[in-house]
Structure formats: C-alpha cells, structure tokens
C-alpha cells in the first residue's frame, strides 16, 4: 500500500516488554521488564485491523523477548497457522527459551505443521563474548541458537541469524562464522534450506526518539572506529563467502570494506534488500502502542557520494551518527 511516498507491508507486534537477556545495545532498554503484556485477544484484534486497513504482508513478532509472552504458543499458533496464506510470520527471538529440549520440540512441530509457504524465524545472536570458553549463561544461549537454527532449517522456514557487531563480540566474529557454517552444513543437508545471515552495526535509534541509545549505552557497545573491527570482519566475510550461507550487510556501507577486501569480493556482498522495505505509517502508532510502525532502516542515509557509486542499489548505507562520530571517516564511491 502507498501512503504518501512510501509503501507499507509489515507490522511489528511488540507483545511484551520482558526479556531474559541483557543486550547493551538494546534501544528498548528503558522499557524492558516494565508494563504489562498486550492480551492475546488484543493481538488478534489488532492483527485483523491492521491487515484490513493496510494489507500487511509480513508480521514481525517481537517484544521484549516474545517467547516469554504468557500466551506465546497460542500466539504462535495464530500467526503461523491461522492467518491468511499470503501473510508471512516472523518470530524475532534471542532463542534462549529453545535451549530446552521440550521447547525446541514444540517449535519444530509448530513450524512443520504450519501451512504457510513462506515463514521466517529470526535469531538474534549478538551477546555471546566467547564460543571457546563460554560462561554457563552463554552455553545456554549457544544451545538455544543451535536448536532454533535446527528447527528453522528442518521446517523449511527462512532462518535468519542476525549478528550485531559490538565491543564484546567483534574479536570472535571468525569463530562465529565457523560455528554457523558448521550448523548450516549439518542441518541443510536434510532440508536444502540454507541459513540466511545478516551482520550489522547496532542501530542508534533516531536522534530525539525515545529509541535513541544514551551515551553510556553507545560507549559500552561501540568500538571507537570501524577500522578496529575490520581485520576480524574480513576473516568473517572470507569464511562466510566460501560457504552456502546467504549473507547480507546492514548499516555497514560496502565501501568501508575497501581497505581490506578486493572490489570483486565486495561486489558479491549485498546490502539488505529488506532495508528499503517500509513499515506502517506513523499515525498507526497512536492507535496501538504495542504495534510499532517504523521505517525499518529509515535512518540509514543516502549521501551525495552514493549517487556516483555503482553499488548504490546494493548498499545498505549507514546511520548518519556513525559518520558524525568519526566511526567511519568517509565514503568512497565505487565504480
Ligand atoms: S559510496 Fe555510498 S553507496 Fe557506495 S558503497 Fe559507500 S555508502 Fe555504499
């Protein structure tokens, strides 16, 4: 649907604000573990409203951590089994819940039973600082990620892993690549359904928004410059590009890879196609506070340099705050 100059196709359902993880970069941190849940009846009612009014094609189930929602499995059954065939459901999860065998089994059964041609499961895998010597908590997280990937690949769901680069994980990016390549090889063999992977810089939110991360959060999350992470990111990309995993970059300008990667390799990496996907219009926000419209990557910018660049259409660009901080010094059009 076109509203003003934008098309809107997705709705995000923030069904709760509880969470069992502590991501330093979370720009919802101020709201976490506060407030009550939306009821399942309201979830359904809001879905029918938004579907009727905006012809939404994708539902993003989020929070908080939605797997902690008290009617989680009923809500999952609703979105994966009872909504129209052309609506793609996507559970966004930190996957900790699915470290439990019984919860994992429930997830596989639900996803396998779902009649949807297109369904997605999106896993945030960002807050682990060691794969070789994980803490007890990290072990649980790693087990959850493995189980959720297994469930997604086996059930022919689009299985997306999102890695947000932070001070805590940038040095283990090559290890993370090995871990994911191994899982993809193991579980894709049964299903021919390759893992999708998105790697990105954290979002700051939009300046002036309640979503803007405060300075303390930014300092705890971000390295001082992008060049510090480049050697590790290069090793990560080299490994992933040799695998069958489908890769996209988000909030990382492709030209920022030029110091470490040859042009022909950069050209094989795309920005995130979804980055240009538009979300529900702002006026919707006032109707239901838990269903958040947002211009998904609306804060990533096109720059004058980009108009001269051959990768203009493939590049996700970057939020202006990164250039303002000198995190990335300049953009170089690629021809
Ligand atoms: S110049 Fe712009 S479009 Fe080209 S790679 Fe850099 S950020 Fe992307």
**pLDDT tens for each residue of 46-72:** 899 888 887 788 899 988 899 999 999
Which range, of 223-227, 271-275, 308-312, averages the lowest pLDDT?
271-275
Query: What pLDDT, on a 0 to 100 scale, did the predictor assign at position 270?
Result: 72
Rounded to an integer, the average pLDDT of 152-173 is 94
Atom of ligand 1 minimally distant from the CA of 318: 7
Query: What pLDDT, on a 0 to 100 scale, did the predictor assign at position 189?
Result: 81
**Domain total of the chain:** 1
The residue that leads in pLDDT, 124 or 52, is 124
Query: What pLDDT, on a 0 to 100 scale, did the predictor assign at position 55?
Result: 75
Residue 13 pLDDT > 90: no
pLDDT range class, residue 147, cuts 50, 70, 90: very high
Q: Taking CB atoms and a 6 Å cutoff, what residues make up the pocket around ligand 1? A: 253-255, 303, 305-306, 309, 311-312, 315, 317, 331-334
Atom of ligand 1 minimally distant from the CA of 332: 1
Query: What pLDDT, on a 0 to 100 scale, did the predictor assign at position 299?
Result: 61
Instruction: Answer whether residue 332 is part of any domain.
Output: no
Max mean pLDDT among 17-31, 217-231, 304-318 falls in 217-231
Choose among 211, 127, 214, 196: nearest CA to 165.
127
Query: What pLDDT, on a 0 to 100 scale, did the predictor assign at position 296?
Result: 44
Specify the pTM.
0.90
Instruction: Answer whether residue 276 is part of any domain.
Output: yes
**pLDDT tens for each residue of 292-335:** 444 444 566 778 888 899 888 788 888 888 888 899 988 999 88
Instruction: Answer whether residue 124 is part of any domain.
Output: yes
For residue 324, report the distance from its CA to the centre of ligand 1, in Å. 16
Dihedral sign, CA of 119, 124, 130, 134? negative
Instruction: Answer whether residue 309 is part of any domain.
Output: yes
Half-sphere exposure for 163 (CA within 13 Å, toward CB): 29
pLDDT range class, residue 207, cuts 50, 70, 90: low
Angle at alpha carbon of residue 313, lines to 309 and 317, rounded to 5°? 75
For residue 281, report the distance from its CA to the centre of ligand 1, in Å. 27
The residue that leads in pLDDT, 11 or 32, is 11
CATH number at residue 311: 3.20.20.70
Q: What percent of the chain has pLDDT over 70?
A: 86
Query: What pLDDT, on a 0 to 100 scale, did the predictor assign at position 237?
Result: 94
Whether the CB-CB separation of 12 and 291 falls below 8 Å is answered with yes
Q: Which two tokens stand for residue 125?
A: 């895998």
Rounded to an integer, the average pLDDT of 244-258 is 90
For residue 264, report the distance from its CA to the centre of ligand 1, in Å. 15
Atom of ligand 1 minimally distant from the CA of 303: 2
Residue 283 pLDDT > 60: no
Distance between CA atoms of 16 and 37, rounded to whole angstroms? Answer: 5
Residue 225 belongs to domain spanning:
2-324
């Amino acid at each position: 649907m076109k509203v003003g100059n934008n098309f809107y196709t997705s709705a995000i359902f923030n069904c709760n604000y509880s969470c069992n993880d502590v991501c330093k970069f979370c720009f919802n941190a101020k709201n976490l573990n506060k407030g009550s849940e939306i009821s399942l009846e309201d979830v359904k009612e809001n879905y029918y409203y938004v579907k009727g009014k905006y012809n939404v094609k994708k539902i993003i189930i989020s929070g908080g951590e939605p797997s902690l929602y008290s009617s989680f499995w009923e809500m999952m059954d609703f979105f994966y089994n009872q909504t129209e065939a052309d609506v793609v459901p996507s559970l966004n999860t930190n996957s900790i819940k699915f470290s439990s065998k019984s919860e994992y089994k429930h997830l596989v059964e639900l996803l396998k039973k779902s009649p949807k041609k297109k369904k997605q499961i999106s896993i945030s895998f960002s807050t682990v600082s060691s794969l070789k010597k994980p803490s007890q908590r990290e072990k649980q997280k790693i087990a959850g990620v493995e189980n959720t990937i297994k469930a997604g690949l086996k059930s022919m769901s689009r299985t997306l892993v999102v890695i947000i680069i932070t001070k805590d994980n940038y040095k283990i990016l090559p290890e993370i690549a090995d871990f994911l390549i191994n899982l993809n090889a193991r579980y894709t063999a049964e299903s021919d359904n390759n893992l999708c992977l998105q790697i990105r810089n954290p979002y700051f939110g939009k300046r002036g928004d309640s979503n803007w991360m405060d300075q303390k959060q930014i300092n705890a999350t971000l390295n001082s410059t992008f060049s510090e992470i480049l050697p590790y990111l290069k090793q990560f990309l080299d490994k992933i590009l040799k695998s069958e995993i489908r890769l996209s970059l988000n909030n990382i300008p492709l030209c920022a890879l030029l110091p470490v990667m040859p042009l022909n390799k950069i050209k094989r990496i795309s920005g995130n196609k979804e980055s240009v996907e538009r979300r529900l219009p702002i006026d919707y926000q006032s109707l239901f506070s838990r269903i958040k419209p947002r211009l998904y990557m609306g804060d990533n910018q096109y720059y004058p340099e980009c108009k001269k660049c051959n990768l203009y259409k493939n590049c996700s660009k970057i939020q202006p705050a990164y250039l303002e901080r000198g995190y990335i010094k300049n953009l170089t059009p690629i021809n």
